[in-house]
Structures are given as structure tokens and as C-alpha cells.
Amino acid sequence: MLVLLPFILFSAVFGWAIAYFVFAPDNLLALIGTSVGFAFLMLLIIVFCFFISLWIIGAGGNPNQKVPSYHNSTRKKLSGCMDFVLALFGVKIHAEGFENVPNDEPFLVIANHRSNIDPIILDKLLRKYKLAFICKHTLFRTPWIGKIIAKAGYLKLDRMDIGSGFEIVRHGQSYLDVGVSIGVFPEGTRGSDEHDIAPFKSGCFLIATKMRKPIVVTVLHNAHGINKWKFFKRHDVYAKVIKVYRYEDYKDMNVNALSDEIHALMLEEVKKDK
């Protein structure tokens, strides 16, 4: 919310000046009312422009499409809106270890899930890569958002549908095959405990192992506070790549063993803040 304050204050001052010359300086009620009115008008204009931008970006997106298609141009257009959301929540990202992310091939990036905007945080840190996230199917039903993520090529997962899991693996592998990396939160849902990691849905690791691609293990610290909707408070989020698994590191492991090892590694990392 702090990012809006300069615009709102400018509007309030402008409104005060208008009232000063129109209603005379001794009309305090008119001065205050006009200032508040102009500030509120500026806020409405900003919100209107934000949602119009989302509508334009998502135009043509089909949340019901059976076969996802990645569009990096849509993701680039969306980046400005994502930065605005991060600024709105006062998010300051402190990154560590992202220099170890592979540049020579696509990868599967996994992270713990603590806030609604975790994908936006990861997307910003990995913006130079082609990247699509796996999302729960209900997000595709959300007005505005559903069309945008469909147009960007995000992958839809219905955890109650076994066939959907197989489709995700197939589509994810096809993405990796053309150089698009995949982002996933293997816990499957947001966790409420900052110092714990819920059991993983190990099937998501098949996307990487079947294609022999790297797995980038990432941990987000202090992201849970964003869910409290405290717009006027700064949120320092710490994102750390704790390990990058190459194929040689996991080729002798089955998916469940790999999932358990990564879970233990991430759990150890999140407990360091306790």
C-alpha cells in the first residue's frame, strides 16, 4: 500500500490547492472535503487501471482448454501487474543462491507454500527463465485470474481426479522438452506453520525425473505474514535456493525416496528460524 501513498498525497495536495483558490482559504470544510475527494478519486483511478490491465492481458484466455499452451509474451505483460502486487503488499525480497539455478536447461523448481502470492515471488526471482506454474483447478474458475493463467499456459491440477495428475506429468514433460521450466508447491496447499513442511505429493517429481532434468529446491521464509493483509507494513521475504539436484544426484533414487530426501532438506531449513 505504501507504493500508492505518493500518488494519493499528491492528489490530496492538489485537491487542497483547488479548494483554496475556488472556495477561499477560510473554508476549512471545503479544503478538507476536496482533498479527501481527490485522494479517493486517485485511488479509484489506480485500481481501475490495474483491473483494466488484467482484463486486457487475459483477453482471449480459455480456462477450460484441455491442452495448455505456454505464452511467454503473456507472462512478460503480466510482470508489471505482479510487481505492483508485490509493492502493494510491501514485499521486499531477499534472494540467496539463485545464481545456482541452471542456465543450460529447463528445470523443476519447488518451494514451500505459505502465502497467496508465493508464485508471484518466485516468478519475479526467475523472470529471465521461461516458467509456468502448476495450479489447483479452482484458480482457473476465479474471475480475471482464470483467463490470465490459462493464457500464460499454467497447468491445471484437480487433486480429486487421478487422471488430472497423469495429464499434469505429461504436459509438464512436454513443457520441459521445449525449454519451459515448471514451478510447483509439492505440499499441495498453503501451510499455516512457518516452521513446518506438510507431506509432499511426490508425483510432481515425475515431471523432472522422467525427463532427467534438474530440480531446484527453494525455501521461502517469512512469507506467511503477507496473508494478514497488512498493506502498510513492510514484509521482508527471504527466498533461498538450498540445493539443485542434477540427474546424476538422483538417478539411483525412486520418486518417493527423492521426495522424502527433499522434504527433510527443506524441513531442516525452515526450522532454522525457530
Q: Give tens-digit pLDDT for 104-136.
A: 999 999 999 888 889 999 999 999 999 999 988
**pLDDT tens digits, 207-238:** 999 899 999 999 998 887 775 655 556 788 99
Q: What pLDDT is attached to residue 240?
A: 95
Rounded to an integer, what distance in angstroms lies between the CA atom of residue 47 and that of residue 61?
A: 22
Rg (CA), the chain: 22
**Strand 215-221 to strand 235-245: parallel, antiparallel, or no bridges (unpaired)?**
antiparallel
The answer to whether 89 and 117 have CB atoms below 8 angstroms apart is yes
> Is residue 119 within 8 Å of residue 183, measured between CB atoms?
yes
Q: Is the pLDDT of residue 264 over 80?
A: yes
In sequence order, what DSSP letters do the residues of 64-117 get, joined into one string? T-SS----HHHHHHHHHHHHHHHHHTTEEEEEESGGGS-SSS--EEEE---STT
